[in-house]
Amino acid sequence: MFKNNETAEIGRNKMLKKHIKNTVAIIAAATSFASIASAEINGPVNYIIPFGPGGESDISARLQQPFFKDKFGEDMVVSYQPGGGGAVGWASLNGLNGDGQTIMGVNLPHIIIKPAQKNVGFKTDDLNTFYMFHYTPDAIVVTADSPYQTLADLVADAKANPGQVTMSGSGKASANHLAQIKFDKLAGTLTTYVPFKGTGAAVTALLGKQTVAEWGYTTVGAKQGDAVRMLAVAMENRHPLFPDVPTFKELGYDMTGGAYRGIALPNSASAETTKMWSDMIAEINTDPAFQKKMLDGGFAMLDVDSAGMKDFMAARVEEYLKDAREAGLIK
């Protein structure tokens, strides 16, 4: 059972119900009654982003926020819980209430690679991920006035001067880093990866010419517009926003992927709650207005719901762990 909002009439009734529900909820909370588990949303939901504000996870959540309120009549409150590159949030997820009022953003490859490296307080399988709703495809970004006009230029430079082509990226053992390692292998080059704290800092470094290129995402190209040029994107087909930017595949490098983002519930949540949330996010994800906003931001859509999650994650786990092992990031 999930709420579905189709006409303003139903919306208004639901608003009234919501107000009554809120009052009851407050009184109930004040006397600390445990709520009976049911697959329904009661009051505002808490959407925790395990990073600081401003990143892709935050932006995509902010884009979902108004659609959620619109369709299901409840507030979606975005809060931040940074620390450990996401580890603090994910380690605390299963300690939270599983009644369906609290959800948390999850990121690939983080939730796969981090537990494999060290004891970070959670295991990949612990997280009840119920939907993957987008990914940001890897892309090599250079400034608009860079001497590299095409990917071939960069490759040539890297081959002629091994180690001297510096590329900024967000974090280590992250999507950017894995992409750089993978590409170096495919192209037979040796570039130097310079890790920064977050995509924003990596972009600043690029724009300030601290490095000659950046391993970023299509979202960077969308945000910076004419100030940058993307040399290639790691997608099957060209991104609708950038019809002139070739894919790695076209240029002969078998690379697709990026950072995937989804949402998880505490694993104490019931199967009904999980299905309910999966359907709600699916509904937002299939809304053409939402899709347009995401694509305009440079995101790429993806739809993996709770039913298909197990296979999706298994495939990703295998893929990422293999890449990471080859890169020497994990044993």
Partner 1 sequence: MEFSHFLSAMTPFNIALALFGVVAGTVIGSIPGLTATMALAVLVPITFSMDPASALILLGAIYTGAIYGGAYAAILLNTPGTPSAIATTFDGYPMAKRGDGDLAVALACFSSVFGGMVGAIALLLLAPPLSKVALAFGPVEYFWLSIFGLSLIASLSNGNLMKGLAGGAFGMILSTVGVAEISADIRLTFGSQVMIGGFGVVGALIGLYCIPVLIDLVATPERHLKVEENVKSVRISEAFKIAMRSKFNLIRSSVVGTLVGILPGAGGSVAGLVAYSEAKRTGKDHQKFGEGEPDGIIATESANSATVGGGFIPTLVLGIPGTPPDAIVLGALLVQGVRTGPAMFSQSGSIVYTFIYGLIIATILMLPAGLLIGRYAYKSIVTIPKAVLVPTVGFMTIIGTFAIRNSVSDVIIMLCLGVFGWLIARFGFAASPIVLGLILGPIAEQGFVQGWTIGAATNNLIGMFFGRPISQAIIAFTLMTLILPIYLAYKKQPHKEV
Partner 2 sequence: MGTSSSKSQGQFGSLFISTLFIFIGLITLYDTTSYSDRDSQVFPQTVAIILIITAGTSLVTRLLKPSNEGGFGEGIWWRRVLFISAMFITCFAMPIIGFLASGVIAFTSGLIAAMHDKWSFRTVLIYGCSGAIIMVSFFILFKFILFVPLP
| Residues whose CB is less than 8 angstroms from the CB of residue 161 and which lie 6 or more positions away in sequence, other chains included | none
Q: Which of 25, 39, 63, 295 binds partner 1 (CB under 8 A)?
A: 63
> In whole angstroms, what is the distance from residue 255 CA to residue 270 CA?
37
In the structure encoding, which two tokens stand for residue 326, read together?
Answer: 């080859």
Applying CB under 8 A, the span of 131-139, 161-169, 237-245, 259-267 interacting with partner 1 comes to: 161-169
Q: Which of 42, 92, 146, 267 binds partner 1 (CB under 8 A)?
A: 92
Applying CB under 8 A, the span of 114-122, 133-141, 179-187, 279-287 interacting with partner 1 comes to: 114-122
Element (H, E) at 27: helix 8-30
| Residues whose CB is less than 8 angstroms from the CB of residue 35 and which lie 6 or more positions away in sequence, other chains included | 28, 42, 99
Q: For 22, which DSSP code?
A: H
Residues 239-268 interacting with partner 1 (rule: CB under 8 A):
none
Helix axes 271-285, 56-72, angle to 10 degrees: 100
Go through the chain and tell me how many residues it has. Answer: 331
> In whole angstroms, what is the distance from residue 9 CA to residue 187 CA?
59
Nearer to partner 1, 11 or 195 (CB): 195
Other CB atoms within a 10 A radius of the CB of residue 128 amount to: 23
Told to check if 200 binds partner 1 by CB under 8 A, we report yes
Nearer to partner 2, 112 or 329 (CB): 329
Nearer to partner 2, 80 or 242 (CB): 80
Q: What are the backbone angles phi and psi of residue 4, rounded to the nearest 5°?
A: -135, 130
Please say whether the beta carbons of 142 and 214 come within 8 A. yes
Q: Which of 149, 210, 237, 286 binds partner 1 (CB under 8 A)?
A: 210
Burial class of 283 by CB neighbour count within 10 A (0 to 12, 13 to 18, 19+): middle
Straight-line distance from the first to the last Cα atom of the chain, in angstroms, rounded to the nearest whole number: 45
The 115-154 contact track toward partner 1, x by CB under 8 A, reads --xxxxx---------------------------------
| Residues whose CB is less than 8 angstroms from the CB of residue 141 and which lie 6 or more positions away in sequence, other chains included | 203, 206, 213, 214, 215, 216, 220, 221, 224, 228, 229, 230, 231
Q: Which of 59, 178, 232, 309 binds partner 1 (CB under 8 A)?
A: 59
Least distance from partner 1 to the Cβ atom of residue 254, Å = 26
Least distance from partner 1 to the Cβ atom of residue 264, Å = 16
Least distance from partner 1 to the Cβ atom of residue 192, Å = 4
Q: What are the backbone angles phi and psi of residue 274, rounded to the nearest 5°?
A: -60, -45
Closest CA to 192 of 172, 162, 151: 162
Which residue has tokens 């107000």? Answer: 19
Residues 270-299 interacting with partner 1 (rule: CB under 8 A):
293, 296-297
Nearer to partner 1, 58 or 153 (CB): 58
Residues that bind partner 2 (CB under 8 A): 26, 29, 32, 44, 46, 77, 79, 96-97, 102, 172
CA 43 to chain centre: 26
Nearer to partner 2, 38 or 81 (CB): 81
Nearer to partner 2, 68 or 253 (CB): 68
Least distance from partner 2 to the Cβ atom of residue 27, Å = 12
Q: Which residues bind partner 1 (CB under 8 A)?
A: 52-55, 58-59, 62-63, 65-66, 69, 75-85, 87-88, 91-92, 113-114, 117-121, 163-164, 166, 171-173, 192-197, 200-201, 203-205, 207-211, 223-227, 293, 296-297, 329
